[in-house]
Amino acid sequence: MAGDAAMSAPEGSPVGEHEPIQEYLKPVIELVRNAGLFFGCLAPDTGWPSDPEEARGRPRFFIIADWGETTLGPDGFHRKSLRRVLRGAEVVVVHCGADEPDHYEGAATLAVQHSKCVLIQARPSHETTWIRFVSRHVPKATLFIFTMNQARYLPDGGTA
């Protein structure tokens, strides 16, 4: 799976059909191929249709990509599209760390198990902004946070 250097994206995925796939996305593409997962990606200043026909009746995994050279947080995205992508998500992952294949595979597996998972790729500078946005727009979703800012969430006195 992850060691397949020649892997390319399946037709209709958000990465080009014949583009090489980033290492961290390879487990996601395996689930697209083997588990019927629908995979979509929302980039800043782009729109998202309300309910793509090919997503109906399938588990769905979306990435909100706020990870470029300049990150803007939720304000850098088409607001209606953000709400569409988040609507109905049972699990949301705010991911502010290195692109580890295990993290993406875990999130995509949660989508297969729970019908919809959204992973937000964010810089640490926008972590709390994304957490507040998710809490306001999908308050019933289970929220996972992969962070480099762990001290922010620990009680005073250390980790023991």
Its pTM stands at 0.80
Residue 19 located in a structural domain: no
Residue 7 located in a structural domain: no
Residue 95 located in a structural domain: yes
Residue by residue, pLDDT tens for the chain (160 residues) are 333 334 444 444 455 455 678 899 999 999 999 999 999 999 997 888 666 788 888 999 999 999 877 889 999 999 999 999 999 999 999 999 888 899 999 999 999 999 999 999 999 889 999 999 999 999 999 999 998 866 665 566 555 5
Q: What is the residue range of 140's domain?
A: 38-148
SS3 track for the chain: CCCCCCCECCCCCCCCCCCECCHHHHHHHHHHHHHCCEEEEECCCCCCCCCCHHHCCCCEEEEEEECCCCCCHHHHCCHHHHHHHHCCCCEEEEECCCCCHHHHHHHHHHHHHHCEEEEEEECHHHHHHHHHHHHHHCCCCEEEEECCCHHHHCCCCCCC
Residue 25 located in a structural domain: no
The mean pLDDT of the chain is 84
Residue 140 located in a structural domain: yes
Residue 51 located in a structural domain: yes
How many domains does the structure of the chain reveal?
1
Residue 24 located in a structural domain: no
Residue 14 located in a structural domain: no
